Every structure is written in structure tokens, then in C-alpha cells.
Structure 1
Amino acid sequence: MKLINTLDAVGHVLCHDITRIVKDVEKGVAFHKGHVVKEEDIPVLLSIGKEHLYVWEKDSNLLHEDEAAEILYDVCKNENMTRSETKEGKIELFAGCDGLFVVDVDRLEAINSMDNMMIATRHTNYPVKKGDKLAGTRIIPLVIEKEKMDEVKEVAGPEPLLKLLPYPKRKAGIVTTGSEVFYGRIKDTFTPVVVNKLSQYNIEAVEHVTVNDEMDNIVKAIKELKEKGVDLIVCTGGMSVDPDDRTPGAIKASGAGIISYGAPVLPGAMFLMGYFEDGTPIMGLPGCVMYAKATIFDLVLPRVAAGLKIEKKDLVKLGHGGLCLGCKVCTFPECGFGKGV
């Protein structure tokens, strides 16, 4: 690439797009990269302030911004994403389906630590809809060293930097505990909330059992759902530390391994996450899920639906950003709840 006087540019090839902006009228590309400058182009170029032009000189050690942008796109993409056209060294990525958007934050930060390039994304573990914008990549200068882009590929490695995990069809079983519900003293208003939230992630509640507060009955209900082959078990009620709240103990007695009883999230501190030996997840939901618009359940469920294994460290990390402000108009997930830096 070399800089020449615009008056001397006839016959030369532009190495970048040239934008024309007319306030309140037009903003667009007047001349595209690769355009061969003609005599009649000179007055137009001068009128938009281009007294000098960068024209392309092929150099095997340099890449044009658009060529380099393709490399950034390649290290980001997976098969469930679509893309924009390449323009001025920039490519945007979009969701090709509903799913959980996952970012390898460490590798993202490593690439963004390099000069003259950037990748901006949504937060990791973010549930998205088909068509949502996921990320944007940009090469800052007009040309960049090929060696630097080779380093990007090395840092990124063979796995995509970004993933979009679709929600496969799953079946859930729900155990509602509480003598007050079992004996009909109050209406069950918890289960409809859970069923609705499950359905948002392609999970159908196919089994529902209501039991009283007796430990043996809760254990029996959980085991029966497990034997019926559901993909996920959700238990509601009896999740506090009161002596007559026996659901956490029943979940453990049913044979599930407890990942954590308790999470640094409000609302949702009394949440329980566990797994059976075959990998079937089981969750104990605190009462806040019944009435709060966004809780720990909304943070964990998309990950479970996408097939991610929840570990204790995943719940621990939720403490940073895990305080819901209880806004009068809830905008979750378009807010900071559950999104630590």
C-alpha cells in the first residue's frame, strides 16, 4: 500500500472503501476497495476531502483489512451462526438458531490484547434468539502484518472462540412438595411457573407428582421420575433450612450427588444443583422462583437446557453480578443480572 496524490491516481486500485457522508442525506460507500480510479472519479474524490489516496501495492507480508477480518471471523464462528458481509475490515456474527451463546473469555481477552484488532461479544452463557447479533470483529488499520494474524490463529487454536449451543428437545419431571398443596389447602401456583420457564428452552414437563412433606414420599417420587427416564428433574417447595423442609435431604437420599446446596445469587440463595450418576440433572428450586421475575433458575436453566454440566465453580462465579435489583419493569435478560465481568 502506498499513499499518492489523488490527481495522480487514475489507473490505480483503491485498497479500501471510501465513504461519502452528506448530513441527513447519505452515508455510504462511494468507492469500493478494488475500484480502478477513472478520470471522472477525481472531482468526486476531491469533493469528499480525499486529496491523497492509499492504493494497493501487493506485499506478501501484509494483509488487507478485509482479508484479516476473515481470519478473525474464522476463529470465532461455529456452524450455528450467520455473518454479515465484510466491510471496511468488519464482520458481524448473528445467531442462526435459538440457543445458549458461549464465549471462551480467556482466549477472547488474549486476542483483544493484541494491537490493531478487536472482537466484541455479548456476555457468555447468554440465551439468544435466532437473528440476534452475537459479536463484531474489526481490523483497525487498513493493512496488518500477516505474521500477526498467524499469531491470532495460534492463540485461538482449533476450537471456535464462540459457540452457539441449540436446545435439544428434553423431557422434565416435576416434584411438588408441601402438605398444604398435597391436601388441597392452597392452590399450586409454583408448578405453572416452572412449566412455562422450561418450555422457553424446548423442555416439556411430561411428569408431575405432588407429595406431602414426608421424606420417604419425596424420595419415592424422585426415584419414580428417574425410572421413567425423564431428562431433568425439578423439585419445588421445602428448600429452606427449617426443620420441616426436607427436600434437600430427599434429593440426596434419592441417589443424586449434590453439586451445591446454596448459591451466591439473590433471589435464589437456597438453590440446589445435583446430578445422578448417569448425568441426569436435578434441581431444587427455592420459593422465590414462584414470584420473582428473574432468579437463579433463570441463570442456570439455559445452561442445563443446552447440555452444559454445572459445576460448583460456575455457581460461585455468579456471585459477581448475581444481585437482582428487582426493577419495577423487569428487562431480564437485557440487564446486568447474572453477568459478571
Structure 2
Amino acid sequence: MKEIKTEDAIGSVLCHDITEIVKDQRKGSRFKKGHIIKEEDIEVLLNLGKEHLYVFEKDETMIHENDAAEILCNLCFNEYMKKSAISEGKIELTSTIDGLFKVNREELFKVNSFGKMMIATRQGNVPVKKGDKLAGMRIIPLVIEKEKMQQIQEKVQKPILKIMPYQIKTAGIITTGSEVYKGRIKDTFTPVIVEKLKEYGVEVTYHSLSLDDHEMTTSKINEALKQGVDLVLCTGGMSVDPDDKTPLAIKNTGAKIISYGAPVLPGAMFLLSYKGDVPIVGLPGCVMYSRRTIFDVVLPRLLAKDLITSDELALLGEGGLCLNCPVCTFPNCGLSKG
């Protein structure tokens, strides 16, 4: 830090706030610490009685917080993102589309454990809408070693963040249950699924009822696949009761079973499989009556064709207990932690 004449301060970085007081109008910072002094600022500063200023000494080995924020932003920035103007050394990113937000957690950890810098994001593997805030980044000090910023650029695999557009546009629903098939009770499951899919612009182009008979259900699934749907959802018949045949029916299609069961409540009896690149999903009864379940957690990933592994499903256990909050904030809650 050094004292220099105001007239000689163009391009220098202020070490302190400078307050402006206008009687009966305002009192506050006219220039904030870290401000880079421009030619047009000189007259204003002199009118504020500042003939000398305390500024950071110029050092070619250091860079200003604004420039450092740009470097951090470039580590994150990706398609379908918009960056804000720099404000007090910070840049924020927002989404330009509806889609699935992804975070490379290992690379994010590298940045945040490197020291003197930070990137904060919203939870990964969650749906975002156009205009949603994604992340903010800045360095902690006002200036930082240029070499340190070069090191983090070399160390991190970019981009750290990604938004995946939804690709699945059509779905088939097979509603299982002899009581529904024979008309003894009304099908209240299918309308719930249709509404959830509608939120993402997915059209149900195939729907059929099936008895609690695994051969019939397998046939219905294959029929939906032949019609070219992007996603198959089987509702009901997912428990361990002897007459619940849906898991066997899905297996008999030749689909690769990723997991039967998930550490999420509601939704433990969830089944995920793929036949080729088409997900075939078994939905437990809780999806019909619970506001949020395992289905809400995995649906955005399925629609973005983001392949889900059994390990990723196993990781859902931490935060996988829905607390049935009086006001639901999903996906901004622990249930969305993936």
C-alpha cells in the first residue's frame, strides 16, 4: 500500500472505501475498496477533497479480483449459461434453458481446497429453469498471485458445470393391477404420472392396462417399445407380494437391470433398467400418493439421457428421507441430493 497523488492514480487499485456525503440526500461509499481508478474518477475524487489516495502498489506478479473472477468463471462456463457483470469482485452464472444441472464435484473440490478462491454452486443433478441462478465465484483477497491462478487453470479439468437439455419427448405407461384392468377400481396412478411428465413437456403416446401377469406386462412393454417411445414407465406391482409381477416382467424384456430398490423414502421399491438407450422404470405405489418420491429425483436425469448407475442410486441414501415439510421446496432440499 502506498500514498500517491490523485492525479497520478489512474489505473491504480483503491485500498479503502471513499465516502461521499451530500447534505439531506445521501451518505455512503462513492468508491469502494478494490475500485480501479479511471480518468473520469479524478475530478470526482478531487471534489471529495481527496488530493492523495492509498492504493495497492503495482505488482506484475499479482492480479486484481475482477480478473481472477473471470478466470474462475471460465473454469465453470459452458453452453446454455449466461454470466453476470462483475460486482464487487464476484461473477454469477444463470441458466438460459430448462434442463438438468450437473456439477463435476471432484473439480469443484480442487478449486475450493486450493486456497484464496471459491466457487459456490446449487446442488448438482437437479432440474433448473431458464433464468435460475447456478453459481457464483470470486477470490477471497482483493488481489492474488498470478502464478496461483495459472496453477488452478492447469490443475482443473473444465468446464466444471454443465446443463443438459431434456431429450426425451415421449413416454409409454403400463398400468398394472388386475383390479384396475377389470374395472373394479379407478386408475388414479396414471394421471399422476401424466401430470409429472407434462411439467417437462413429455407426451404420453402409449398407455395400456395389464393384469398382474408378468407375461402380459412384458408384452405391453414390448408393444410400447415397438411404437418408439423414449421412456417406459410401469406403475404398480413393485412390492415383494407374490402377486406383484412387474419386476419379473421388466426383466423378461431383456432389459439390463440397474437396480431393484433405492435408498429413498418414499420410493424404496423403485426399479431402474435400460433396454438399449430406453429407460424402463418400475414405479412403486408411493408415487401415486406422495408429493415427492424417488421418481422426482431421477426423472430429470432420465429425461436428459444422463445415464444413472447403481452406485449413484446407492449414494442417494444420505438425504434420501423426505421430511414431508409443510411447504415443499423440492428440488431445493436434501431429497434432491444426488
Task: Measure how far apart 1:204 and its partner are.
Answer: 1.4
Alignment partner, residue 202 of structure 1: 201
Q: Which moved more, 1:321-330 or 1:279-288?
A: 321-330
Task: Measure how far apart 1:202 and its partner are.
Answer: 2.7
Which digits, 9 at most, give the CA deviation of each residue in 1:276-328, with x for residues without a partner? 1x221111000000010100000000111111001001100100000001123
Percentage of pairs with the same residue: 51
Alignment of 1:106-255 (within 5 A): 106-157=106-157, 159-255=158-254
Task: Measure how far apart 1:56 and its partner are.
Answer: 6.0
Gaps of 5+ in 1: none
* 1:104–1:162 CA contact under 8 A, matched in 2: yes
What amino acid maps onto 2:38 in structure 1? Answer: H
For 1:266, what is the secondary structure of its paired residue?
coil
Alignment partner, residue 71 of structure 1: 71
Which digits, 9 at most, give the CA deviation of each residue in 1:111-162, with x for residues without a partner? 10112111000011121111011100011222211111111111222x3100
Assess, with a 3 A threshold, how the Cα gap between structure 1 residues 148 and 178 changes in structure 2: closer, same or farther: same
Q: Which moved more, 1:146-155 or 1:293-302?
A: 146-155
Alignment of 1:17-28 (within 5 A): 18=17
The answer as to 2:324 corresponding to 1:321 is no
Looking at structure 2, the residues matched to 263 and 74 of structure 1 have their Cα atoms a distance apart, in angstroms, of: 36
Assess, with a 3 A threshold, how the Cα gap between structure 1 residues 45 and 214 changes in structure 2: closer, same or farther: farther
Aligned residues: 330
Alignment partner, residue 54 of structure 1: 55
* 1:274–1:281 CA contact under 8 A, matched in 2: yes
Task: Measure how far apart 1:28 and its partner are.
Answer: 6.5
For 1:38, what is the secondary structure of its paired residue?
helix
The answer as to 2:10 corresponding to 1:9 is no
Assess, with a 3 A threshold, how the Cα gap between structure 1 residues 324 and 28 changes in structure 2: closer, same or farther: farther
| Candidates 323, 329, 332, aligned match of 1:331 | 329
The answer as to 2:300 corresponding to 1:297 is no
Alignment partner, residue 268 of structure 1: 267
* 2:168–2:305 CA contact under 8 A, matched in 1: no
* 2:168–2:304 CA contact under 8 A, matched in 1: no
Assess, with a 3 A threshold, how the Cα gap between structure 1 residues 180 and 136 changes in structure 2: closer, same or farther: same
Looking at structure 1, the residues matched to 242 and 277 of structure 2 have their Cα atoms a distance apart, in angstroms, of: 30
Looking at structure 2, the residues matched to 143 and 337 of structure 1 have their Cα atoms a distance apart, in angstroms, of: 39
* 1:107–1:161 CA contact under 8 A, matched in 2: yes
| Candidates 38, 43, 51, aligned match of 2:42 | 38
Give the CA RMSD over aligned residues: 2.3
Looking at structure 1, the residues matched to 269 and 325 of structure 2 have their Cα atoms a distance apart, in angstroms, of: 21
Looking at structure 1, the residues matched to 106 and 20 of structure 2 have their Cα atoms a distance apart, in angstroms, of: 38
Gaps of 5+ in 2: none
TM-score by length of structure 1 reads 0.90
What amino acid maps onto 1:41 in structure 2? Answer: L
Looking at structure 2, the residues matched to 52 and 323 of structure 1 have their Cα atoms a distance apart, in angstroms, of: 57
Which digits, 9 at most, give the CA deviation of each residue in 1:26-68, with x for residues without a partner? 767637523245365146376xxx9852256251x22221111
* 1:12–1:55 CA contact under 8 A, matched in 2: no
Looking at structure 2, the residues matched to 252 and 232 of structure 1 have their Cα atoms a distance apart, in angstroms, of: 16
Task: Measure how far apart 1:86 and its partner are.
Answer: 1.5
* 1:320–1:338 CA contact under 8 A, matched in 2: no
What amino acid maps onto 2:273 in structure 1? Answer: G
* 2:255–2:274 CA contact under 8 A, matched in 1: yes
Assess, with a 3 A threshold, how the Cα gap between structure 1 residues 86 and 288 changes in structure 2: closer, same or farther: same
Looking at structure 1, the residues matched to 137 and 20 of structure 2 have their Cα atoms a distance apart, in angstroms, of: 23
TM-score by length of structure 2 reads 0.91
Alignment of 1:94-109 (within 5 A): 94-109=94-109
For 2:130, what is the secondary structure of its paired residue?
coil
Looking at structure 1, the residues matched to 285 and 239 of structure 2 have their Cα atoms a distance apart, in angstroms, of: 9
